[in-house]
Amino acid sequence: MASSMRISRLLSRSVLPASTTSFFSRGGSGVLGTRLNKFSTAAAIEEPIKPPVKVEHTQLLIDGKFVDAASGKTFPTLDPRTGNVISRVAEGDHEDVDRAVAAARKAFDHGPWPKMTAYERQRILLRAADLFEKHNDELAALESWDNGKPYEQSAQIEIPMLVRLFRYYAGWADKIHGLTVQADGPYHVQTLHEPIGVAGQIIPWNFPLVMFAWKVGPALACGNTIVLKTAEQTPLSALYAAKLLQEAGLPPGVLNVISGFGPTAGAAIASHMDVDKLAFTGSTDTGKVVLELAARSNLKPVTLELGGKSPFIVCEDADVDEAVELAHFALFFNQGQCCCAGSRTFVHEHVYDEFIEKAKARALRRAVGDPFKGGIEQGPQIDSEQFEKILKYIRSGVESGATLETGGDRFGNSGFYIQPTVFSDVKDDMLIAKEEIFGPVQSILKFKDLDEVIKRANNTHYGLAAGVFTKNINTANTLTRALRVGTVWVNSFDTFDAAIPFGGYKMSGHGREKGEYSLKNYLQVKAVVTSLKNPAWL
Amino acid sequence: MAGVSDGSSFKMPSIKFTKLFINGQFVHSLSGKEFETIDPRTGDVITKISEATKEDIDEAVKAARVAFNSGPWPRMPGAERARIMTKWAELIEENVEEIAALDAIDAGKLYHFLKGGEIPGTARTIRYYAGAADKIHGEVLKPGRELFAYTLMEPIGVVGLIIPWNFPSTMFVTKVAPALAAGCTVVLKPAEQTPLSSLFYAHLAKQAGIPDGVLNVVPGFGSIAGAAITSHMDIDKVSFTGSTDVGREVMRAAANSNLKPVSLELGGKSPIIIFDDADVDQAAQLALLGILFNKGEICVAGSRVFVQEGIYDEFEKKVVEKAKAWVVGDPFNPKVHQGPQVSKKQFEKILSYIEHGKREGATLLTGGKRVGDKGYYIEPTIFSNVKEDMLIVQDEIFGPVMVLKKFKTIEEAIKSANNTKYGLAAGIVTKSLDIANTVSRSIRAGIVWINCYFAFGDDIPYGGYKMSGFGRDCGLDSLYKFLQVKSVVTPIHNSPWL
């Protein structure tokens, strides 16, 4: 009971201050702070802790069966703590995507899924949520092993969120309403909201199962069938979750899971002539490719959730301690590997010096280490490529004249750990202020007045999210409306409830995920117009 | 029709809950009063039930008020309310047979229908509203000047729910589930004829984790407990299902007390209109079920059947044949189609309408008498040659009595169908798209079934036009009944868009 209460509290606000106090901001308290310091100052990473889970599913899931790739090829998935191989995984390519699409097409055109009652679909999704909940710890262990994120974060936030999202979408299944519409003449007009068909979904490695839920949940609630490609860095947890969905009663072929690489399996899905809809989360560069492939093939509609360089704006009336904690969380959460990371911290000049000092102190207290160890806030980056890229950005920050307040190097001497890094005196034209670093690198910029910060915050080709920290209602309202972004968090950040839509302005993407809005991605609207004889009213 | 069949082989579960359920506890009424609940198969007493009077209602309202004003229920996230409600649905599913038996013995309803349909349906309804609890959306508005405005959908508060005896279980969840999903707290009065299942649901609600005070169940009589609810100064909303006469009293009491908003789901005299192009056999089956389902004790009963002249004679022959084959008897017997009427009072009222119909000069085609000499069983009864001003055509009989009338044109059918003070439901049987569309828009009723009848669904709202009431049960419309709309408006300055 106590643990379920705690989870529900975590869930109710997802990943934000209230729950943060119990989970993320331990550095603030004296006793815990000291304990965490012990980890963060330890230079060497100890022998990696053995994850409490066995890898059972490494094949592709096609038409309800786990099968090898047609080519017989496999690829290794790596433990980011060490770079060692966790397991080899079947590598999907064009032929496998063709098989998966055929299975999904058959399941959509002839299978029971779109034809069963919404109530039955709801029950299957609810059963799946119960199974995810039952296997919370195994799913969490797979997630952390493959991704490097703290196990406590997986087990207490992300898997419960997966469960929550499936329950949320289960509740939508029987409430998908078309409209009856007025016409200018004697016509009876209805809109039918029909499932769009076979959905291709490509998800990233930073929140494998949460992204799985954002994509799979609404598509299934609306009655579609799916070919899902996981990221090559993190194929394990989705295979297990998909297996649990089958166990919950999802008919074969409704959800097919392909592990593999973007240029091969991903491109095959994006350019497939028999995929009716595409949803992609990943980098802006890849998003462009995906959109182009969709345009060149069958003009399938595309939902894109891409990169960001989100501003976190600390106004002069803000409570500095709270702002520091939340800005720290906004950037460093999940090793900085969030598309909506608050990666440009704009601080009003009146509180700037105090903020820098405290932000630096907080970064120094951040507990970095083996994600399977209790109390750890930050694990390794996902892979060597990201690791090198982040270190390159840090060098660029130093070279361009930003002040390195703390961090700046790898952490320990094995695996892909990076020290929590804080730059101050960052200028708008520096690379670290313009490009998405996707790592634990906080860039702090100074500002004078609102108009200026609005202009600077909007001066980016991204538009995913923003944080606003102020006590003043007018400041909050002005910033909220002026920022060209898909989500504004006021005195909060990374609040990811199931019902809150998420997505980008500008080059951060198209469409919205989560909430009622996400259903639109997976529905066709059919207007039905019937002529009326002698209607009693119009 | 067959005689009374024996259902005595069925083993009744013992009755566990007979007291008032207030603030999470089963308690005696303060007055110590009790009333008898009767088995309509025999007229025998099933058990004695604590009777709520005004003082008990006050206690229940107090508990609901505390639960609303300072308890966790409206303060927890909708998703958490949904979890508890889902658990409640699961507990109901584990107890289907016992609840079915309670409704069968208390209301004379068919046990096998309850077990296979109505009781599992309550779990489905609870899940539907559980799924809505985290999807209650206000709107952000478009003011005409520099204003930022939005609506908050807030739970309305303590709601009084008064439900009838014809569908004790369905009515219970149809009212309670949306109120709870909205975050309200509840004082519910079941009908004095059928208190048993409501108390059982209350017990399961507590097991599921619905906090004390959120759901209070107070069996009693309309004139005492019901009146105490409708006139209570601290109840924020009343939703009532019952007769039109009592609905009027409910509204008057609300007006005389604290002007609480009221939703009323009242009587009906719903038409089923069958056109020449219909399949006669299917239409006869549909019309028969339309009046005989649940012994005719259903507000949306298709009690006026209009048949176009081209198929009238054939229809009349078939519907009478089918009525004669209809099996009346013990509701625990799986071969039985129709059990006893709920009470002696209803039984006598129906028989007096039948007598009145004969006196007024309508032709009695079949039925018209009681079945057996014990309990409240009545033969399926069909009248023809009726005139629109006859009492049996105008009044809600609430029993197995069909009136059959011939018509010539669509216009005539529409006019006749609308010639009633009621407007709850209507049925249309036709293959013609134009007829279906024209008639469905012309009938002044809250639900129109085309080539089907009693096609209810959790997502399908129904309710009345005219004196059949106002407000809707089922669907998201029902959820909105239990929500207040609060507009929040604040000036904005230099907004980049308006």
**Are residues B390 and B415 part of one domain?**
yes
How many C-beta neighbours within 10 Å does residue A115 have? 10
- Domain assignment present for B407: yes
Which candidate in A4, A119, A189, A529 is best for mutational testing of the B interface (most B CBs within 10 A)?
A119
Residues in chain B where the model's pLDDT stays below 50: 1-5
Q: What are the angstrom distances between the C-alpha of A237 and each of A56, A226, A231, A256, A334?
A: 10, 17, 11, 14, 17
Tokens of A128: 């799946």
Q: Pairing mode, if any, of strands A302-305 and A311-314?
A: unpaired
Q: What's the whole-model pTM score?
A: 0.90
Q: How far is B82 from chain A (nearest CA, A)?
A: 9
Identify which of B128, B492, B497 has the shortest CB distance to residue A174.
B128
Tokens of B396: 């809600």
Q: What whole-number percentage of chain A has pLDDT above 70? A: 92
**Are residues B285 and B184 part of one domain?**
no
- A535 touching B (Cβ < 8 Å): yes
Residues A536, B442: C-beta atoms closer than 8 Å: yes
- A54 touching B (Cβ < 8 Å): no
Residues A482, B442: C-beta atoms closer than 8 Å: no
Q: How far is A245 from chain B (nearest CA, A)?
A: 19
What residue of B is the nearest CA neighbor of A5? B80
| Helix, strand, coil percentages for chain A (3-state, nearest 5) | 45, 20, 40
- Domain assignment present for B79: yes
Q: Give the DSSP letter string of B243-273.
A: -HHHHHHHHHHHHHTT---EEEE-----EEE
- A477 touching B (Cβ < 8 Å): yes
Q: How far is A12 from chain B (nearest CA, A)?
A: 6
Residues B459, A516: C-beta atoms closer than 8 Å: no
Alpha-carbon dihedral angle through residues A277, A280, A284, A288, given to the nearest 10 degrees: -30
Question: Residues of B numbered 127-156 whose beta carbons fall under 8 angstroms of chain A's beta carbons: which are they?
Answer: 127-128, 130-135, 137, 148
- A452 touching B (Cβ < 8 Å): no
Q: How far is CA B287 from the centre of its chain?
A: 20
| Helix, strand, coil percentages for chain B (3-state, nearest 5) | 40, 20, 40
Q: Which CATH number do you get for residue B286?
A: 3.40.309.10
Helices A118-134, A236-247: inter-axial angle, 10-degree rounding = 130
What residue of B is the nearest CA neighbor of A451? B494
User: Which pLDDT score is estimated for B6?
Assistant: 55
Residues A171, B495: C-beta atoms closer than 8 Å: no
- A175 touching B (Cβ < 8 Å): yes
User: Which pLDDT score is estimated for A43?
Assistant: 45
User: Which pLDDT score is estimated for B48?
Assistant: 97
Residue with token string 């060497």 = A44
Identify which of B132, B437, B476 has the shortest CB distance to residue A532.
B437
Closest among B259, B189, B265 to B227, alpha carbons compared? B189
Q: How far is B144 from chain A (nearest CA, A)?
A: 16
- A498 touching B (Cβ < 8 Å): yes
Closest among B397, B348, B92, B126 to A171, alpha carbons compared? B126
Closest among B294, B297, B284, B290 to B270, alpha carbons compared? B290
- Confirm if B159 and B262 have CB atoms less than 8 A apart: no
Identify which of A12, A172, A482 has the shortest CB distance to residue B77.
A12
- Domain assignment present for B494: no
Question: Residues of A numbered 184-203 whose beta carbons fall under 8 angstroms of chain B's beta carbons: which are they?
Answer: 188
What residue of A is the nearest CA neighbor of B444? A536
**Are residues B375 and B308 part of one domain?**
yes
Per-residue pLDDT of B176-229, as tens digits, reads 999 999 999 999 999 999 999 999 999 999 999 999 999 999 999 999 999 999
**Are residues B435 and B408 part of one domain?**
yes
Residues B80, A5: Cα–Cα separation, whole Å: 10
Q: Give the DSSP letter string of A135-151.
A: THHHHHHHHHHHH---H
Q: How far is B276 from chain A (nearest CA, A)?
A: 18
Q: Is pLDDT above 70 for A18?
A: no
- Domain assignment present for B458: no
Burial of A431 (0-12, 13-18, 19+ CB in 10 A): middle
**Are residues B476 and B385 part of one domain?**
no
- Confirm if B414 and B427 have CB atoms less than 8 A apart: no
Q: How far is A385 from chain B (nearest CA, A)?
A: 40
- Confirm if B55 and B86 have CB atoms less than 8 A apart: no
- B497 touching A (Cβ < 8 Å): yes
Residues A457, A150: Cα–Cα separation, whole Å: 31
Residue B417 C-beta-side C-alpha neighbours within 13 Å: 31
Residues A481, B492: C-beta atoms closer than 8 Å: yes
What residue of B is the nearest CA neighbor of A173? B131
Phi and psi dihedrals of A108, rounded to 5? -80, -45
Buried b (16+ CB within 10 A) or exposed e, A178-196: eeeeeeeeebbeeeebbbb
Residues A331, A441: Cα–Cα separation, whole Å: 7
Q: How far is A172 from chain B (nearest CA, A)?
A: 7
**Are residues B480 and B412 part of one domain?**
no
- Residues forming a β-bridge with B370: B378
User: Which pLDDT score is estimated for A26?
Assistant: 33
Measured between beta carbons, which residues in chain B are less than 8 angstroms from residue A516? Answer: 135, 137
Number of structural domains found in chain B: 2
- A458 touching B (Cβ < 8 Å): no
- A499 touching B (Cβ < 8 Å): yes
Alpha-carbon dihedral angle through residues A155, A159, A161, A166, given to the nearest 10 degrees: -160
Average pLDDT of the residues in A269-297: 97
Q: Give the DSSP letter string of A51-111.
A: PS------SEEETTEEE--TT--EEEEEETTTTEEEEEEE-B-HHHHHHHHHHHHHHHHTS
User: Which pLDDT score is estimated for A8?
Assistant: 38
Residues A139, A209: Cα–Cα separation, whole Å: 9
Residues B493, A477: C-beta atoms closer than 8 Å: yes
- Residues forming a β-bridge with A303: A279
User: Which pLDDT score is estimated for B11?
Assistant: 74
**Are residues B297 and B245 part of one domain?**
no
User: Which pLDDT score is estimated for B7?
Assistant: 55
Which candidate in A4, A165, A168, A179 is best for mutational testing of the B interface (most B CBs within 10 A)?
A168
CA angle B80, B85, B90 (to 5 degrees): 125
User: Which pLDDT score is estimated for A538?
Assistant: 87
What residue of A is the nearest CA neighbor of B497? A481
**Active-site position among B59, B192, B265, B379:** B265
Per-residue pLDDT of A383-438, as tens digits, reads 999 999 999 999 999 999 999 999 999 999 999 999 999 999 999 999 999 999 99
**Are residues B149 and B82 part of one domain?**
yes
- Give Rg (Cα) of chain A: 24
Identify which of B135, B148, B437 has the shortest CB distance to residue A530.
B437
Measured between beta carbons, which residues in chain A are less than 8 angstroms from residue B438? Answer: 532-536
The contacts found for B138-144 with CB under 8 angstroms, 24 or more apart, are B138/B485, B141/B487, B143/B489, B143/B498
- Domain assignment present for B288: yes
Measured between beta carbons, which residues in chain B are less than 8 angstroms from residue A190? Answer: none
DSSP, collapsed to helix, strand or coil, labels residue B424 as: coil
Q: What whole-number percentage of chain A has pLDDT above 90? A: 89
Burial of B45 (0-12, 13-18, 19+ CB in 10 A): exposed
Interface A-B, measured as beta-carbon pairs within 8 A, has a size of 91
Residues B154, B482: Cα–Cα separation, whole Å: 8
Instruction: Give residues with Cβ within 8 angstroms of B100, minimum separation 6.
Output: B111, B114, B115, B118, B119
Residues A102, B154: Cα–Cα separation, whole Å: 47
- Domain assignment present for B460: no
- Domain assignment present for B455: no
Residues A164, B79: C-beta atoms closer than 8 Å: yes
Measured between beta carbons, which residues in chain A are less than 8 angstroms from residue B432? Answer: none
**Are residues B324 and B247 part of one domain?**
no
Q: Of residues A302 and A14, which shows the higher confidence score?
A: A302
Identify which of A172, A478, A537 has the shortest CB distance to residue B493.
A478
Residue B55 structural domain: 12-266+468-485
H or E segment to which residue A420 belongs: none
Q: How far is B411 from chain A (nearest CA, A)?
A: 10
**Are residues B286 and B246 part of one domain?**
no
Q: How far is A46 from chain B (nearest CA, A)?
A: 40
DSSP A316: T
Measured between beta carbons, which residues in chain B are less than 8 angstroms from residue A498? Answer: 79, 134
Question: Residues of B numbered 440-459 whose beta carbons fall under 8 angstroms of chain A's beta carbons: which are they?
Answer: 441-442, 458-459
Which residues of A participate in catalysis according to the annotation? 305
- Which segments within A308-408 are labelled E, that is strand? 311-314, 344-348, 403-406
- Confirm if A488 and A479 have CB atoms less than 8 A apart: yes
What residue of A is the nearest CA neighbor of B126? A171
Per-residue pLDDT of A41-80, as tens digits, reads 444 457 899 999 999 999 999 999 999 999 999 999 999 9
Measured between beta carbons, which residues in chain B are less than 8 angstroms from residue A173? Answer: 131
Instruction: Give residues with Cβ within 8 angstroms of A218, minimum separation 6.
Output: A169, A172, A513, A518, A519, A521, A522
- Residues forming a β-bridge with B448: B426
What separation, in Å, do the N-terminal and C-terminal C-alpha atoms of chain A show?
Answer: 55
Q: Pairing mode, if any, of strands B237-241 and B381-384?
A: unpaired
Residues B302, B292: Cα–Cα separation, whole Å: 9
H or E segment to which residue B275 belongs: none
How many C-beta neighbours within 10 Å does residue B140 have? 10
- Domain assignment present for B496: no
- Where does the pLDDT of residue A6 fall: very low under 50, low under 70, confident under 90, or very high at 90 and above? very low
**Are residues B143 and B191 part of one domain?**
yes
Measured between beta carbons, which residues in chain A are less than 8 angstroms from residue B124? Answer: 119
- A537 touching B (Cβ < 8 Å): yes
H or E segment to which residue B489 belongs: strand B483-491
**Are residues B176 and B251 part of one domain?**
yes
Q: Is pLDDT above 90 for A467?
A: yes
